[in-house]
Structure 1
Amino acid sequence: MTEAAAPDESSGERYPLPDPSTIGKEHPDVTGGWLRPSVFGASDGLVSNFALIMGMAGGTTDPKPVIIAGVAGLAAGAFSMAVGEYTSVASQAEFARAEVKRERREILRHDAQEQAELASMFVAKGVEESVAREVAHQIHSDPDNALRVHAREELGVDTDDLPSPMLAAVSSFLSFAVGALIPLLPLVFGITSMVPTVGVSLLALFGTGALVTAITDRPWWFGGLRQMLLGSAAAGLTFLVGSLVGGVGI
């Protein structure tokens, strides 16, 4: 059986319209959800605790305070990230809901004006004015649908998919804790030399940087090297500060 030929656009033949629910499903979520707080949480936990441990190691040769500082840094950073993400995402969602309510009132009170506004946005995107006005009129035949379209076009908000503060907080907490635990592992297992800590931290930095490129257009080695060099610089400078502070006996 021969495969059906694709419609020839040059002849005016059109492709059938796809199911709207399937559009965009081939793309990852790039706006929020668990991805952003998880990626940044793990990276931040790894870099900050690696730098903290190296700073302590620069100021003392006793492994006990280094371990205590590392554990405290893990706990404080994880809770701080969770609280910060929850507050940030919750505030963002509350602001979005307030603006959506405001837009709903405008649609109900000034429907003709809002239709014209929507049509104007379509014209700015290349739609003919007569077509844009007809599309806006059809969209406004359903106030709820009109609200969703106005929210996306004017506010960049999907009223059916606002970010979850709890999901962001939990993702940030867990990812930061995992990242911050990596530099601690050699010390927890009784290895007093800082060489293994540096080694596993550099490998983890490279790995997280390379992993991020799976959702970007950068090559994996570029992301890995960039993250490793930046994390190394942070840890090296903090080690220098610790050495200076330890040297003056503070």
Structure 2
Amino acid sequence: MTSEAPTAEAHEHSHADVSGGWLRAAVFGAMDGLVTNTALVSGVGGGGASSRAIVLAGTASLVAGALSMALGEYTSVKTQNEQLDLEVEKERRELERNPAGELAELVQMLRVRGVDGDLARQVAVQLHRDPDTALRLHVVAELGLNPADKPSPMTAAVSSLLTFAVGAVVPLLPYLFGLSLLWVALLCGGVGLVVAGALSSRFTPRPWWSAGLRQLLFGAVAAGATYAIGAAIGVTAA
């Protein structure tokens, strides 16, 4: 009787965005918008400002914050990509000037990862036959980044702008609908923080309730501090 070795078929699968593209920018933008305007409404409202003043301040904060976040994300991701390009060119020059040294370096990296010495050298020699493959392997191994997976600065900027704006409008909703009650606006901001934290937990191992309560705590600290400052300044100004 003969037995055949089991075979396995490759199958497609995907991973979440971990390269610092839209997901990080979206989460950061939403949280920042919620915390910023919840705290702003708390501070201005705590100082005794009118509903019109609160809406004006909140709207100005929304526009300024969204644009600032978008420009900051674009510049940050663009700079990161340019730095990676610079390091890739540096590694390319090293491969051209010192191929033997780079080959030995790849052999050592393979050995550190558990490949036997002779086999590591054979694999390294074969991989170095293609300059592009060798370059990519060295960059990934030494920098931990894949030059082919650079995040898009524009995607990060747009994600940040939109999610900041959505988050920032949440604590303003009661005032926009004519309900001039500070505690309702703070409640809306708190609910928004819990929901945003819970949604972000889909991309992490953290339970939804833990992520939601964490964001609520952060927002409560910020809102409490600004309320105290607003109340103090309002009393002093009066």
Asked if Structure 1 and Structure 2 have the same fold, meaning a TM-score greater than 0.5 normalized by the shorter chain, the answer is yes
- CA displacement, residues 184-209 of structure 1 (integer Å, 9 cap, x when unaligned): 11111111111221221111111111
Q: Which amino acid aligns with 2:86?
A: A
| Equivalent position of 1:32 in the other structure | 20
The alpha-carbon distance between structure 1 residues 179 and 87, as it changes in their structure 2 partners (threshold 3 A), is same
Q: Is the 8 A contact 2:73 2:156 kept in 1?
A: yes
Q: Is the 8 A contact 2:19 2:149 kept in 1?
A: no
- Counterparts of 1:75 and 1:131 in 2: how far apart (Å)? 59
- Counterparts of 1:193 and 1:70 in 2: how far apart (Å)? 15
1:61 Cα offset (Å): 3.9
User: Does 1:76 pair with 2:37?
Assistant: no
Q: Which amino acid aligns with 1:178?
A: V
| Equivalent position of 2:117 in the other structure | 129
- CA displacement, residues 62-89 of structure 1 (integer Å, 9 cap, x when unaligned): 1111111100110111011011111111
Q: Percent identity?
A: 49
Q: Is the 8 A contact 2:199 2:208 kept in 1?
A: yes
User: Does 1:233 pair with 2:221?
Assistant: yes
- 1:167 aligned to which of 140, 148, 155: 155
User: Does 1:138 pair with 2:91?
Assistant: no
- CA displacement, residues 202-239 of structure 1 (integer Å, 9 cap, x when unaligned): 11111111111111111111111111122112111111
- 1:220 aligned to which of 187, 199, 208: 208
Task: Map 1:24-63 onto structure 2 (within 5 A).
Answer: 25-63=13-51
| Equivalent position of 2:78 in the other structure | 90
| Equivalent position of 2:167 in the other structure | 179
The alpha-carbon distance between structure 1 residues 164 and 181, as it changes in their structure 2 partners (threshold 3 A), is same
- 1:109 aligned to which of 78, 81, 97: 97
TM-score (norm 1): 0.89
Measured on the aligned residues, the alpha-carbon RMSD in Å equals 1.8
Q: Which has the higher contact order (CA 8 A, sep 6+)?
A: 2
TM-score (norm 2): 0.94
- Counterparts of 1:18 and 1:112 in 2: how far apart (Å)? 35
The alpha-carbon distance between structure 1 residues 106 and 16, as it changes in their structure 2 partners (threshold 3 A), is farther
Q: Secondary structure at the match of 1:203?
A: helix
| Equivalent position of 1:3 in the other structure | none
1:14 Cα offset (Å): 6.8
Once superposed, which parts of structure 1, at least 4 consecutive aligned residues long, lie more than 6 Å away? none
